[in-house]
Amino acid sequence: MREVAITGVGAVTALGDLDATFAALLEGRSGIGGPGPFPGKGPVAAIEGGPHLTSALALRAARDALGDSQPPRMGVVGGSTSGDMIVGEQEYEAWFRGGPTGPRFLWSQLCDRPAEILARTLGATGPRLTLSTACASGASAVGVGADWVRSGRCDAVLAFGADALCQLTVHGFGSLQAMSPEGCRPFDLARTGLSLGEGAGALLLEDLQSARRRGATVLALVTGYGTAADAWHATAPHPEGRGARDAIRAALGDLPPERVGYVNAHGTGTKHNDEMEGAVLAEELPAAAVSSIKGAIGHTLGAAGAIELAVTVKALVEGVLPPNVGVRDPAVPVLQEPVRRHVEHAISVNFAFGGTNAAVRLTSVHV
């Protein structure tokens, strides 16, 4: 069975590209634009995508991950909750107001649009797939992409998650009364909900031996992936984290839990998620340092898992763990300052609507 190397990472968030985002996290800076449920636009506003902003975000992160590389037999696996749905919303509004419209939006708004654009633009000749498993989409894309490389289906996979905000997303979370009026504070005793974000993350996954033969720099390894369904509720997680535990255990495989040194948590800042996740992580990964980055960039939905994995790769490479930005009075032990620590194994977790749970284990090559 092949080993899966990560040879490139990229991201775009309200704080900037991956390097700018990671630097801001270590400084405790937030890209959430003051009180309210939305992030500051920041660098996202400079990306020209129009109604195809999700695809534009995905392409920016993917190009950063690829750099000058063009691996052979490269597949594309994307994750998104809404794709370029802004196109369809604008077409509907034009029709509603009596303006001209046509069938072109039927395909250009679909969730698989970003993956199709990436494959064509970047010359990826391998298979392509889009996953839409709510807020676990980005993590699941990386997990499935790693499985493709491990099984020999592809020599390399560009795995990404991307989402731009649209009316469906904003009004959907508004109807659930899940958005914070004052900004997201994951795992804080006084948390009041989530802040929405937009952005993209991308990871270039390759067969380790192939990567070494072409002289690629190996940043980390993908050594485990787990996904599981709660089958409990449309939006709320299982109160005892049934699916979350199963996903984490699958990602661990035979690795003893005490060897995991860091967890990039889902940490939405909502009551039910934080309570469930805090208890699950304390019991399943008791030795790991924990932090969520959503207090700095907001909840980027289908992009979250990919962005958080890109940040986790940076943490392994740099030997410094980012703090939980925004927390004042933590309900569970989380990092409140950056910690210089080289860890061998890290796990990033995402828990989504519909009871979908995903966990991806990374292993450092720098310890």
Using one digit for the tens of pLDDT, what is the confidence trace for 345-367?
Answer: 999 999 998 889 999 999 999 87
**Tokens of residue 162, six digits:** 């991307």
Ramachandran angles phi, psi of 49, nearest 5°: -135, -15
Number of Cβ within a 10 Å radius of residue 34: 10
95 has a pLDDT exceeding 80: no
Rg (the chain; Cα; Å):
19
User: Taking 70 as the threshold, does the pLDDT of residue 49 lie above it?
Assistant: yes
262: phi then psi, degrees, rounded to nearest 5: -150, 140
Which of the residue ranges 65-79, 83-97, 192-206, 290-304 would you say has the lowest mean pLDDT?
83-97
Tokens of 69: 């590389």
Residue 211 has a pLDDT of: 94
CATH number of the domain enclosing 48 = 3.40.47.10
**Nearest-angstrom CA–CA distance, 93 and 116:** 26
Q: CA nearest 292: which of 317, 269, 310? A: 269
Q: Of residues 52, 184, 238, 266, which has the active-site annotation?
A: 266
Residue 143: its pLDDT value, please? Answer: 98
Q: Residue 171: which pLDDT band, with cuts at 50, 70 and 90?
A: confident
Strand pairing class (260-264; 345-351): parallel
Helix or strand (DSSP H, E) at 210: helix 208-213
Percent residues over pLDDT 90 in the chain: 70
* Host domain of residue 104: 4-364
pLDDT tens, position by position, 100-154: 776 666 667 778 899 999 999 999 999 999 999 999 999 999 999 999 999 999 9
Q: Is the dihedral of CA 251, 322, 82, 231 positive or negative?
A: positive
> CA-CA distances (angstroms) from residue 129 to 88, 137, 227, 228, 246?
21, 12, 17, 19, 24
Question: What pLDDT score does 168 carry?
Answer: 84
274-310 pLDDT tens trace: 999 999 999 999 999 999 999 999 999 999 999 999 9
Provide the pLDDT for residue 40. 63
Annotation says 299 is catalytic: yes
Q: Do strands 156-163 and 199-207 pair parallel, antiparallel, or not at all (unpaired)? A: antiparallel
Say which of 52, 111, 135, 154 is annotated catalytic.
Answer: 135
What does the DSSP 8-state code read for residue 329?
A: S
Choosing from 52, 238, 299, 345, the catalytic residue is: 299
Paired with 202 in beta bridges are 10, 160
Among 76-80, 99-103, 134-138, 174-178, which stretch is predicted with the lowest mean pLDDT?
Answer: 99-103
CA distance 297 to 43: 12
- Kindly tell me the sign of the dihedral angle through the C-alpha atoms of 59, 65, 69, 73: negative
| Number of domains comprising the chain | 1
Spatial CB neighbours of 176, under 8 Å, sequence gap ≥ 6: 235
pTM for the whole structure = 0.95
Model confidence pLDDT, tens digit, residues 202-253: 999 999 999 999 999 999 999 999 999 988 887 778 888 899 999 999 999 9
Catalytic site residue 266?
Answer: yes
Q: Is 166 a catalytic residue?
A: no
CA separation for the pair 65, 75 (Å, rounded) = 14
